[in-house]
Structure 1
Amino acid sequence: MLVLKRLVTILVMVYVLLALLLILSPGSRDGLMAVTAGTNATGFYYALFIIGAVLLALQLITENLDSTLLRRDVAAREGKINELKARLYDQQLEQRGSAAGATRTGTTVHPEGYVAPTPVPPPAPRRDDAPLV
């Protein structure tokens, strides 16, 4: 598809350059008209118009086909990415489930010379015989 698209683009560019040359250069136009259409300028410009219309239609078709194929490719790749994300999520859930069931043994390491502080008892609450207002 890419080769066809490039070929059509090259043909369109060559046509545009040739049309500009023929329109802007009277000597080239008269010489080409004498070879192809004789002295009939109307037939020459009509043929130039038909060729341009065909090339334009061909370019529009190839661009639309290429765009459609690219959109399909992107959609397929996004689907694949979503599928891989779902698999990864499922694997993470399985790992979390297996890690939660296993018991961990934690160890606390104290530096040498560490003295554990003695716990301070909380202050005793005051009890007044007065009612709360």
Structure 2
Amino acid sequence: MKPRMQASGDLVGLRLIIQASPRQCQHRPPLAVLRRSSLRSSPASSASKCQESLGGPRFMGLEFLKLCLCCCRKIDGDMDVFVYKGEQAFCSAECRSQHMAREERREIEILVRKRRDAFHSRRAAPGKTIGGSSDRHARVEISSFC
């Protein structure tokens, strides 16, 4: 994989280069051409262990590279693919940025919701009681007596 540079020099994505280097061709037999994208699954993953024990394939498809996750546009073989978190493909840097922003907003909303729920659960917890009412109410009653 080779980083693709914009005119300003910023990295914008990765381009897959499917081409054998000249020195590899001299020492190795000719490369086999795959008709379909595939990825060798890592031996540490439990899914691959199950597949191997069942005699299943040791490769899993890269079908996620065919459609943009954001706009569902078809990604052709000659197009640049913008990948995020390893298995999320996008047709453009804009789609990837939109998805990243949406994901970040979702994470912030979840964090705010958790904090709000924790705050409300602390406030709903019963306080110390003296004679059946809270300390604050007991102090108010005592001070109003004097």
**Shorter-chain-normalised TM-score: which range?**
0.3 to 0.5
Structure 1 length-normalised TM: 0.34
Tell which has more relative contact order, 1 or 2 (C-alpha 8 A, sep 6+). Answer: 1
Structure 2 length-normalised TM: 0.32
More strand by share: 2
More helix by share: 1
Larger Rg: 1
